[in-house]
Amino acid sequence: MHQRQEHSENKYIEIFKDYWDIFVGFSSLPLAIIFHLQGVHLLATIFAAIGIGSLAVTISEIAEILAERFGEPFGSMILTFSAVLVEILILFMVIMEAKTHPEVLETVKNGIVATVIVDLNALLGLAVFVGGLSFKEQVHNEDTSASYTTVLFVAAAMLLVPTTISLHSSQDALFKASVIIAVLLFIFYFFIFKFQTDTHVHFFKFKKRSRVKKYIKEDEHDDYYFDRKSNIFNIVFLAFLLVLIGVLSEIFANDGVVVFNSFGLTAGFVGILIAFVTVAPELFTAIRAAKNDEMQRVINIAMGASTVSILLTVPALIFLSMLIGVKLTLDFTPLQVGALLLTIMLVWKTTEDGETNYLEGLSHLMIFLSYAVIAIFY
């Protein structure tokens, strides 16, 4: 009797370990709605953020299953697209608050830049650091990082155009320049997508592993619910989760504006918070990949997500904001542009030879922490 009860308890523990994100996410949703309707802004914001983060983890789990079925580079692209959709949802809901709180547009701009900086410094840095503690050196296809850094340099330079125009031109000229740059970014990504998935797929694949420590595959659970489901079912459920995240994002934006203002938080710090909510699932995936000596996948996730964040998120937010009558412009501060360019330069230097180690990961983490300090007090 005692053994049966113990077996039952262990079974429930295993179920919770496998599906905690779904339990937490679906529990947070009604709580966030209730506190939102009652006007308890702090608790509504907290539960909305917890719900978004938890459901985003579920999305990443489903995306990983689809990724394994489709293979690289498509697998990492599915994961990054899922994360970017969450980012767009959250930032668009913040933009909707601009009708009554125009100052939140600065939070959106900080969120865009912070997401790239978190991807390339916190995510990539932590994954490389953790992987470097287990493997002396980890290898990846240098063509991958070379392609991505080239694209990121060009994208960052394109973002400088509206910023430069804002110094000597009218708001109308700035807005027109922002729209033009958004269109060019989208066209740029169209060709990059073809480059990744058609003409140069081999640039984003790699089979070689570390020569220092034997690769050990993590235990996989074949009984995970979504592993047994078809691609169509998983895609439909993923879309359903995105709808729920949209609801939570609206609460997060609506109540968060009140909370952030009451606590006197800077737009830069709020941008970092938003970035971590959207990047968290990718972060967990990248760390697991690094521990399994899959550095190629880490590079694809971190640099791919950053590329998509600029080339797709920016155009999407520009045109979505136009639909609701809000003029979002791309005039970033010298701090934002400088941090972005410095981050891309560091990524270029740490990945150009196709090998990474824990010191390079630590360097990225130090850059991120330094940026975070400025964002908090600037």
96 to each of 154, 182, 218, how far by Cα in Å? 30, 19, 43
Q: List pLDDT tens digits, range 280-322.
A: 778 888 888 898 888 988 998 899 889 988 999 999 999 999 9
pLDDT of residue 328: 93
Q: List pLDDT tens digits, range 3-40.
A: 555 555 566 667 667 788 889 999 999 999 999 999 99
Domains and CATH numbers, the chain: 2-377 (1.20.1420.30)
Determine the distance from the C-alpha atom of residue 315 to the mean position of all C-alpha atoms in its chain, rounded to a whole number: 16
Q: How many CA atoms lie within 13 A of 196 on its CB side?
A: 26
Q: Is 328 exposed, middle or buried (0-12, 13-18, 19+ CB in 10 A)?
A: buried
pLDDT of residue 215: 42
Q: In one letter, which amino acid is 139?
A: V
Nearest residue to 304 via CA among 158, 165, 197:
197
Q: Could you tell me the two tokens for 186? A: 């989208």
- DSSP assignment string, 18-73: HHHHHHHHHHHHHHHHHHHHHT-HHHHHHHHHHHHHHHHHHHHHHHHHHHHHH-TT
Helix 41-70 and helix 2-38: axis angle, to 10°? 120
Region 92-121 average pLDDT:
90
Region 92-103 average pLDDT:
87
Q: List pLDDT tens digits, range 216-240.
A: 444 444 567 888 888 889 888 988 9
Q: Could you tell me the two tokens for 183? A: 């269109």
Determine the distance from the C-alpha atom of residue 279 to the mean position of all C-alpha atoms in its chain, rounded to a whole number: 3
For residue 355, list its beta bridge partners: 139
Q: List pLDDT tens digits, range 177-231.
A: 999 999 999 999 989 888 887 788 777 776 555 444 444 444 444 567 888 888 8
Secondary structure in 3-state letters for 281-348: HHHHHHHHHHHCCCHHHHHHHHHHHHHHHHHHHHHHHHHHHHHCCCCCCCCCCHHHHHHHHHHHHHHH
